[in-house]
Each structure stands twice: as structure tokens, then as C-alpha cells.
Amino acid sequence: MTHRPVLFLFLDGVGLGPPDSGVNPLRAAEMPNLRRLLDGRSLDSTLEPFHGARASFRPIDATLGVAGDPQSATGQSTLLTGVNVPMAIGGHYGPKPDSRIRSILQEHNLLSRLTRFGLRARLLNAYPDSYFEAIRSGRRLHGAIPLAFTLAGIPLATEADLDRGQAVSADFTGRGWRSRLQRPGTPVLGAEAAGRRMAEIALGNDFSMFDHWLPDYAGHYGEMQGAVRLLKILDRVLGGIAESMEGTELTVFLSSDHGNMEDLADPGHTRNPVPALALGPPESRSRILEPLKDLADVAPAILAHYQLA
Ligand SMILES: [Zn+2]
């Protein structure tokens, strides 16, 4: 089997919103790296499907034919199974998976399928000790993404992995671990370096994923400056990734579970389409993006990319 590494950069709550910098931080934030990848375009509702020199794009549906606002547990588990989960359980549900979603993840888990075929899958997020304690004690439930990796028998990265440079913190830089988690010894990384690290780890695996859940928080919080700050960091991360993947076989796939942050006039989730953006070798970009119409098409497209479907 040929080595076709994929890095799935998952952005929670980032849809394609109005081309209005008053409500859409993706229009308000300067994102020079993203803009360059998009050949000067912006990531919003005006963006047409395209296949450029460095990136390919198409909008995909996150509502999945189900009424109401899409939610994280059903959206993420749809991405990671190929099953239309809100349709299967009769509604959008979240933020954390319940027993119904858990059993769908158990049965149709993309990560389990990849590992069964001998491919190496990794979740690049590091989780602090307090997270594992909260899970063990039942005070906290896994989100769909760490749950899917756990169910596939793939261990989540720890504080030690972060300290060794083998994982990335949720905020990319580690600053949040110092301030919010009171872990002053956490190494701080520039955003570009975090992107380079992610690309390098991804090149050594077959399927890597990063769960960037902060944009959904920023969307609920509804404050433009915080959202813009977050996107500027993401843009620098993209710059680091783009630099390290140059001339390699790495394909980066960027998508979301539902809209939220792209319209700060609405504090909840939106029914907007979400981006499916791919970077890397042109034929890999087409292979992954062409079959995509909605979230349920993503897992089959990834399997097909590895010639497993
Ligand atoms: Zn949310």
C-alpha cells in the first residue's frame, strides 16, 4: 500500500458565513496564509468550488436533511463514521455523544477500520492529566472525536507527549495550559512551529487528526476581537503546515461539524454549509473532495483515498 498521509484539521463550529466583516470574523481577520492558499479568495459563502494551485475547496452540507441546528456530537460522529447520525437517531444532538451515538461510533468507526487495515491513526491533541481524571470519575464525557479514537484502541496523547513535542495543545501554542490549567512548565510553541510539528507528525502516520474546538467556543461567546485573535493564530498554524508539507505526499483536509463562528450575529449554531478544504498533491485533493456533498461523505472519501473502499 502506498503511503498517503492525511492530516484532518478539524475546526469545530466554522461554517461559510456572510461576506460581512461586521459579523463574520473570517472576513474581519487578516489571514494571509489562508488567502494565499485560496489564491486571494476568502473563506465565506461567496466562495465557489475550485481547484487551485495549492488548495481545492467545496462547500458541504452539515444539516444532513434533519430539521434544527446541527450539533457537535452528531456532526462529528457523522464525519468519523460515514453514517448520517442525526437521521439515524432522529435529530441533531450534542455537544457530547450519548449511548446511541456511542454505539454507532463503535460499529462504524473510521479509525477502527483504518487500524484494522494496518494504517496508523493518531489524534494530535494533548490532554492534561485533569482531563483523564474527569473522564475516569464520570464528571466529564469524551467529545465524539476523542471517543472515536479511544473506542478504536488508540491512546490519547498526554502531558508527557506534549512535553516531548509529540502532540499539540488545543490552543496550538501551550499558553492556555500555562494560564488556564496552571501548568507553568508547559513548553510554549509559536503557532507556525505548532503547524510544522503537526505536519511532521502527520508525515510519520497515515491518518492524523487535530480537534480545534476553540472556534465553537468563540462563536458561542460572540465577541469579534477574540474570534479574530483565534483565527490569526490558526492562520499562522496553516502557514507552518504549508511550509512543512511542501514537496511531500501529505494531504491536509480541513472541515467542520456545523456553522457557528462565521456569524456572530447568531450566538448559536447555524445551518450554513461548512468548508471542505484540501491542501497537498492535486490528485489527492480531487480524490478526497470530489465525492463530498455532506458530512456523511467524508469517511468513505478518506477510505477511498487509501484505496480501502
Ligand atoms: Zn457549539
Q: How far is the CA of 226 from the centre of ligand 1 (A)?
A: 16
The answer to whether residue 189 sits within a structural domain is yes
Q: How far is the CA of 281 from the centre of ligand 1 (A)?
A: 33
Encode pLDDT of 58-116 as tens digits: 999 999 999 999 999 999 999 999 999 999 999 999 999 999 999 999 999 999 999 99
CATH classification of the domain holding 58: 3.40.720
Select from 259, 270, 295, 275 the least CA-distant residue to 13.
259
Please determine, for residue 293, whether its predicted confidence score (pLDDT) is greater than 70. Answer: yes
What's the whole-number mean pLDDT along residues 122-126? 98
Q: How far is the CA of 3 from the centre of ligand 1 (A)?
A: 35
Residue 111, C-alpha cell as written in the block: 479509525
Give Cα separations from 133 to 4, 139, 214 (angstroms).
36, 9, 21
Which helix (H) or strand (E) segment holds residue 161: the answer is helix 159-163
The answer to whether residue 28 sits within a structural domain is yes
Select from 64, 122, 119, 114 the least CA-distant residue to 89.
64
Radius of gyration of the chain (CA): 18
Q: How far is the CA of 117 from the centre of ligand 1 (A)?
A: 33
The answer to whether residue 12 sits within a structural domain is no
The answer to whether residue 39 sits within a structural domain is yes
Three-state secondary-structure class, residue 147: helix
Encode pLDDT of 229-285 as tens digits: 999 999 999 999 999 999 999 999 999 999 999 999 988 999 999 999 999 999 999
Q: How far is the CA of 130 from the centre of ligand 1 (A)?
A: 22
**Domain span at residue 181?**
20-244+264-272+285-305
Question: CA 172 to CA 169: how far, in whole Å?
Answer: 5
Q: How far is the CA of 177 from the centre of ligand 1 (A)?
A: 22
Q: How far is the CA of 242 from the centre of ligand 1 (A)?
A: 28
The answer to whether residue 259 sits within a structural domain is no
Residue 167, C-alpha cell as written in the block: 502532540
Q: How many domains does the chain have?
A: 1
Residue 44, C-alpha cell as written in the block: 465565506
The answer to whether residue 3 sits within a structural domain is no
Q: How far is the CA of 306 from the centre of ligand 1 (A)?
A: 31
The answer to whether residue 9 sits within a structural domain is no
Q: How far is the CA of 260 from the centre of ligand 1 (A)?
A: 7
Question: CA 110 to CA 128: how far, in whole Å?
Answer: 25
Give Cα separations from 250 to 4, 145, 202, 292 (angstroms).
7, 21, 8, 20
The confidence band for 1, taking pLDDT boundaries of 50, 70 and 90, is low
Select from 257, 256, 277 the least CA-distant residue to 58.
277
The confidence band for 309, taking pLDDT boundaries of 50, 70 and 90, is confident
Encode pLDDT of 211-236 as tens digits: 999 999 999 999 999 999 999 999 99
The answer to whether residue 53 sits within a structural domain is yes
Give Cα separations from 180 to 14, 35, 183 (angstroms).
24, 32, 8
Question: CA 84 to CA 62: how far, in whole Å?
Answer: 10
